Structure 1
Amino acid sequence: MNTRESRPRPTGNVSWAVELYRRGKDLELMHRAMGFATLVLVTLAPLLIVVAAADPLIGGGFALWLVDGMDLSGRSAEVLSQVFSPPRKVVGGTSVLGGVLLAVFGVAFGGSVQNAYERVWRLPSGPWHRIWRQAVWLCALIGYLYAQVQTRAELAGTYRMLISVAIGVLFFWWGQHFLLGHQVRWRLLLPGAVATMIGLVGLRAFSFLVFTPLIVTNAVSYGAIGTILVVESWLIGAGFVVYGGALAGHLLCDRAGHLLEHPEPPRG
């Protein structure tokens, strides 16, 4: 893929922020972020709850990951854990068919992320037989979230934060390269992985300031549905950061003149 893309490279007269906004609009970034949040809550969350319930070391792993990702504590953490902690005997109550459906829906989530990365790098959609990549990426995602929960349980402070950020950069760096079928060089994907983690750290700080008191207030006013609405809002922000970080990395490489550009896939 050494051909130049059809649109001209942005000149210095176009600000970085304006060009990033334009590309985000072309990508339908907000729409994709909302789809990301919906898929996580509807397909990935049940799968993670079952996986966490099967692990004797970490019960309620999905709830713990949300608590950690949103930087919650005290009453807000308790309220969220009550909503998302797995019920007793959840593994025994899950049929084989149910487990298969959860896995299929989880792979569909991986396909959605892959499609967004392909749009960011203006690559054609991968063939259907590459679905195994989505399955492997899903397993790696579960492992990444598991590692995040484990570091929360074992470490604390600056040391834990540095390890968590380093693991996150490696995951998003590898994830883009793997889902794109090794069509983009490693060095071009690193800025996007770093930008994604910077965004997630910023989202975590925002969550601490805004969502921590909001969860308690919504739980009192609306019950469990109020908590779910706050979590859904945070997941939309996470989707915006995941896709926006990759988009920012692509633009940074483009601006620096390091990008081997790809032709845009035909629309429609």
Structure 2
Amino acid sequence: MRQLRRGLHRAWEWVGVHALFGHGKELELMHRAMGFATLALVTLAPLLIVVAAADPLVRGGFAAWLADGMGLSGKSARALTIVISPPHNVIGTTSVWSGVLLAVFGVSFGGSVQNGYERIWALPPGRWHRIWRQATWLIALMAYLYQEVQTRTALHGFARISLSSATGLVFFWWGQHFLLGGQVRWRSLLPGAVATMIGLGGLRAFSSLVFTPLIVTNALSYGAVGTVLVVESWLIGVGFVVYGGALFGRWFCEHHWMPGQRHTTAEEPAGGPGGEEPPAGAGGEEPTVDE
């Protein structure tokens, strides 16, 4: 019986699930996912609405983008379109100053994602002049979402799944490395990107099964507010997957893939990891005292 307990304890220690839950608690994963959803709805969605309205190739505007991301179709997609679709003159009424403000708000969303990645990898916050990284990441995000919508009508079945998986893997792999300023090795970030794509695939399947009927029911019961609540719930799931995937990737590297190896590339300060000079006599000969 004791041997069985010891074996189970060793197996539990080897799996290291308790460490994963501990990291998630320290990160406040659910709280951060809710912040992700709020910022996405307040800062990113208005920018995407303008970008989608300016696209001459895709009809339906931002509502089509959102319905495709959530895996909605039929009545649920139409209910979402009624609430989300902007007026036809959204481009004409958007001034240059409004466009600048939308871009600034979008960059703040990128800064929030960057801060989340830094917390996951226990890195110091990036300096304010690294805002160009957030802006570049935001442009890449819009390009990634745009190609996802474009392939909706061009490809179907396995071909689209393969392309979406490949481009998503590249984006989230590159996105972590870029926002972190190259402080984490490429190979250490790969498991997190894979976990993120698997999580987004599962979330899409869950959305098509649960949110598809729920969004119609809420639209009939609560009107536009009910539809927005479903969208916000889906965004919380996206935030949970984005941060949770990166967190899982770090845990997987430290416990199973590359245990005991250093994953960051930042140079340590002089005097060791703590940046302090060793005390006199430490690691060497004891100081002599003149008599």
Same fold (TM over 0.5): yes
Structure 1: which 5+ residue stretches go unaligned? 1-10
2: CA distance between counterparts of 1:143 and 1:131? 19
Structure 1 residues 57-82: Cα deviation after superposition (integer angstroms, max 9, x where no partner):
12444322221221111100111122
- Structure of higher RCO (CA pairs closer than 8 Å, 6+ residues apart): 1
Residue pairs, 1:31-180, within 5 angstroms: 31-180=31-180
Please state how far the C-alpha of 1:94 moved relative to its aligned partner: 0.7
In structure 1, the partner of 2:262 is 260
1: CA distance between counterparts of 2:75 and 2:128? 46
In structure 2, the partner of 1:248 is 248
Structure 1 residues 233-263: Cα deviation after superposition (integer angstroms, max 9, x where no partner):
0000000000000000000100133541569
Quote the sequence identity (%).
69
Tell me whether 70-79 or 82-91 shows the greater mean CA deviation. 82-91
Please state how far the C-alpha of 1:85 moved relative to its aligned partner: 1.8
Q: TM-score, with normalisation over the residues of structure 1? A: 0.91
Amino acid paired to 2:46: P
2: CA distance between counterparts of 1:220 and 1:209? 18
2: CA distance between counterparts of 1:77 and 1:248? 32
Retained in 1: the 8 A contact 2:184–2:263?
no
1: CA distance between counterparts of 2:71 and 2:78? 12
Amino acid paired to 2:130: R
2: CA distance between counterparts of 1:250 and 1:231? 29
Retained in 2: the 8 A contact 1:61–1:149?
no
Retained in 2: the 8 A contact 1:76–1:212?
yes
Q: Secondary structure at the match of 1:125?
A: coil
Please state how far the C-alpha of 1:191 moved relative to its aligned partner: 0.5
Please state how far the C-alpha of 1:13 moved relative to its aligned partner: 4.1
1: CA distance between counterparts of 2:62 and 2:141? 12
Tell me whether 216-225 or 252-261 shows the greater mean CA deviation. 252-261
Residue 239 (structure 2) pairs with residue 239 (structure 1): yes
Structure 1 residues 201-236: Cα deviation after superposition (integer angstroms, max 9, x where no partner):
000111111100000000000111100000000000
Structure 1 residues 152-203: Cα deviation after superposition (integer angstroms, max 9, x where no partner):
1211111111111111000000000000001111111110000000000000
Structure 2: which 5+ residue stretches go unaligned? 1-9, 275-291
In structure 1, the partner of 2:288 is none
1: CA distance between counterparts of 2:63 and 2:181? 32
Residue pairs, 1:216-235, within 5 angstroms: 216-235=216-235
2: CA distance between counterparts of 1:190 and 1:35? 25
1: CA distance between counterparts of 2:214 and 2:121? 37
2: CA distance between counterparts of 1:12 and 1:62? 48
Aligned length: 255
Q: TM-score, with normalisation over the residues of structure 2? A: 0.84
